[in-house]
Structure 1
């Protein structure tokens, strides 16, 4: 059961206010969001110990889906049960959804206005730099030896040149990790994602400390596992059936619901890793938006708090708007519906994974396994992210054009952004603000 200190020191209202605050300040992608939670929950508030935090994070990284969101759900669930997990996850996502709906409307209604076009011109090269910086950061932590570098290179070649579907790359990497973990375990040892500071000595024990007993609601039982899983699956099926009943089976909203459910089950390694798959479906297969709009959407997603995978809300808004799913008179309402549908089906699996699987995780706190497949998948993700950077660079810099028509200003701005991110550790929002200003200035001379 909950200890007395846990029950009294962190009230449900206090936790709710924190998760709401996090939803509005969680910039910087998954790495930045995890760092925010670590600083606040482990170091300052001492709600959870370093070891328990990292244990939860390791398992969230093993799951498909946005690991920062799942980590918030996990901690909320561990502290206040199922309702606590739902509130933590929902408040982590909702501010971003509302902001992106507003930005998507502005983009479609006024995107060709000089001011908006100038801002986007400056932000796009920064996005290329942000993706490259993400590949560098993940690669520097993950690619510890030649074997892991080879996996990353193979993944890059597979997706960028051979055009292997992303799910097969994930499965192939996991298989290599399983085999390698058995025959060459030293190659696939996982390093910690955070510096192991001895916070307990400085600030005292955490409310959920290393040896705090698992609360009663987090205890494992097969009945609870099946019950939560079936409820989650039923919610997805009922939601999908309602869309089919109202709009028909072969319609954009129904296609989005099924596609983003699949995407949610394939997002190993975070949003950057699954974006090529989302691009293939959204741009090439279903044509909900254009390649240029996809890049613009990522630029907008980088400027908002919340998980980067929230770009799905932009895709849903643009797709429902352009396909006029509610008729030409209701474009804004259609866009809002599209954004909500894509968000619901993208994040529903994450809640099911944590609320159903959390007790399993707590029951295996001293038996962490499956790290070798995770290491191999993480290495492959580096190659996939690099392929995404190449794709964006080709469109933003106009590399498909003759050499003299390449966008030299955009290339220079991206190079400067890389230096600012990697050398001077400039924050994402500061970088995007600076690049937006540069974009306005440059556009004014065109």
Structure 2
């Protein structure tokens, strides 16, 4: 890569702005993020905001939220797409590919290892104990994310009303997430017409800019040449994406045929990738129905155990598909009885490829269009409203986690007071003591392991 490609823009920074970030420095950060991105999308977005907006000042809050709102509209894991977007904005397409890939690869390797331990050696006290402590901490992390985003995004009564309405819609009425997003966008568009001052990002974010200082990609930083929309660039992305999907699919069909489990996994998870509006929880029923009921790749109990693994490992929650693929490939012995691990690992790799490929294409194709709208009220007002709605949705997710952690067998069952204490301690560490997410996860895991060893749970 050239020296120009190793920096974001050739725009001179002010004396107070951070220096240009090299590709190598960005690579190290994205690799680190891949190993510490616990807490699902809410926790991961919170980590990225703290690192990229507050601490490193690589991107301003306004540009960060504008990119996040775009990712919320897309099918696929929004946190991984946000990392891809920012990496692409800073270091062109290779920057986006590296950022997005490193967000996923550590989770893939960890899940393959844990899936193998799970399916080959059965119940492990050590693993069960670690998970027992991490689950309550994840609840506190998601709650903190709702608080952090809410404090930044809910600047007036209009946005608060949208957040409350979104919470009621998903918690009480159980409306699908895409419908909530669409309603929020319409409310923002109408609100931008009736009360534009309430949906103007600049005023809302000026305080944040004074607090965090000038950013490398600031509110007024010009869009870099590689992020400017062109029909040629869009056509190139579409052609490349078609080839990257068709080549491995053709190899699978030619090698094993259309009806083979590997080929069906590739096709099934391609469809799943295009249906993941609203994050992993919106698509899990579809994955459950296909993987358990239709194809029989794994059992219902194994699917639930895979979800627990996905919740408590770094990376996007939708990475549970790697567990589904591994268990299906291992149990079906798709490469023969003497290559069980390889059978599962290949299946996990395939489903990960076909699940995440569309996310990269959406960012590379749509990013230039979004970059041209970050100062246009008719675009920013709906996106600000979506951010407000997301606060309500994240709060609902925190309650969902809390319910399943504190009442593991339902409200009619026993209350898990040990998990409640761990969650309370984690919340205290995050909110009051301002501890890092990774530290909270580590300590909570150790506590959970100790509780299991001593037989208290």
Scaled to the shorter chain, the TM-score interval is: 0.7 to 0.9
Corresponding residue of 2:170: 152
Name the structure 1 match of 2:443. 430
Structure 1 counterpart of 2:233, from 224, 241, 250? 224
| Deviation sequence 1:336-372 (CA, Å, 0-9, x none) | 1111111111111111011111111111111225438
Q: Deviations over 1:267-293 (max 9, x none)?
A: 233334433333333333333222322
User: In the TM superposition, what is the alpha-carbon distance from 1:202 to its structure 2 partner?
Assistant: 6.1
- Alpha-carbon distance between aligned partners in 2 of 1:341 and 1:225, rounded to the nearest angstrom: 26
Aligned twin of 1:260: 269
Which consecutive residues of structure 1, in runs of 5 or more, have no partner in the other structure?
Answer: 159-168
Q: 1:33 to 1:376 in 2, by over 3 A?
A: closer
CA contact under 8 A between 1:295 and 1:392: conserved in structure 2?
Answer: no
1:103 to 94, 114, 129: 114
Q: Find out whether 1:345 has 2:358 as its counterpart.
A: no
Work out which of the residue numbers 8, 27, 32 in structure 1 matches 2:43: 32
Q: Give the superposition deviation at 1:107.
A: 1.3
Describe how 1:199-210 pairs up with structure 2 within 5 A. Answer: 200-201=209-210, 204-210=213-219
- Separation in 2 of the partners of 1:67 and 1:296? 23
Q: Summarize deviations over 1:249-270 as a string: whole Å, max 9, x none.
A: 2232222222222222232333
Q: CA deviation at 1:429?
A: 4.0
48, 51, 62: which one pairs with 1:51? 62
Instruction: Answer yes or no: is 1:440 the counterpart of 2:440.
Output: no
1:134-149 aligned within 5 A: 134=142, 138=146, 141=150, 144-145=160-161, 147-149=165-167
CA contact (8 A) 1:119 1:440 kept: no
1:154–1:380 Cα contact (<8 Å) kept: no
Equivalent of 2:97, from 86, 106, 114? 86
**Take 1:190 and 1:266, find their aligned partners in 2: how far apart are those partners?**
30
Q: Is the contact between residue 173 and residue 380 of structure 1 (CA under 8 Å) also seen in structure 2?
A: no
The partner residue of 2:249 within 240, 243, 255 is 240
Which of the residues 400, 414, 417 maps onto 1:412? 417
Counterpart of 1:9 in 2: which secondary structure? coil
SS where residue 32 of structure 2 aligns?
A: helix
Against the structure 1 CA distance between its residues 429 and 115, is the aligned structure 2 distance closer, same or farther, given a 3 Å change threshold? Answer: closer
Aligned residue in 2 for 1:165: none
CA contact (8 A) 2:167 2:389 kept: no
Tell me if 1:211 matches 2:216: no
| TM-score normalised by L of structure 1 | 0.79
Assess, with a 3 A threshold, how the Cα gap between structure 1 residues 20 and 382 changes in structure 2: closer, same or farther: closer
Distance 1:231-1:105 versus aligned 2 partners, 3 A rule? same
Instruction: Specify which of 360, 366, 387 is matched with residue 375 of structure 2.
Output: 366
Q: Distance in 1 between matches of 2:49 and 2:346?
A: 34
**For each residue in 1:307-361, what CA deviation from the matched residue of structure 2 results, as whole angstroms up to 9, or x when unmatched?**
2222221111111111221122211001111111111111111110111111111
Q: For 1:181 and 1:212, how far apart are their aligned partners in 2?
A: 25
Contact 1:66 1:270 in 2 (8 A): yes
Q: Number of aligned residue pairs: give it.
A: 421
Cα 1:288/1:411, change in 2 over 3 Å: farther
Deviates further, 287-296 or 139-148: 139-148
Name the CA shift for 1:380/1:278 in 2 (closer, same or farther; >3 Å): farther
Aligned 8 A contact 1:152 1:379 in 2: no
Moved more, 270-279 or 174-183: 174-183
| 8 Å contact kept, 1:27–1:33 | yes
| Matched residue, 1:166 | none
* Equivalent-residue separation in structure 2 for 1:313 and 1:235 (angstroms): 19
> What's the CA shift for 1:306?
2.1
Structure 1 residues 211-246: Cα deviation after superposition (integer angstroms, max 9, x where no partner): 222111111112211220232133112222222222
Question: Which string of whole-angstrom CA distances, capped at 9 and with x for unpartnered residues, describes residues 119-153 of structure 1?
Answer: 55x35xx6478469747965994994464344224
Per-residue CA deviations over 1:377-430 (Å, capped at 9, x if unaligned) read 748956985896599579x84459xx6xx5x4x733443344344455483443
* Aligned residues: CA RMSD: 3.9
More off after superposition, 208-217 vs 281-290: 281-290
Distance, in Å, in 1 between the alignment partners of 2:145 and 2:77 is 17
State the distance in 2 between where 1:203 and 1:259 align: 44
Query: In structure 2, which of residues 264, 288, 295 is the aligned counterpart of residue 279 of structure 1?
Result: 288
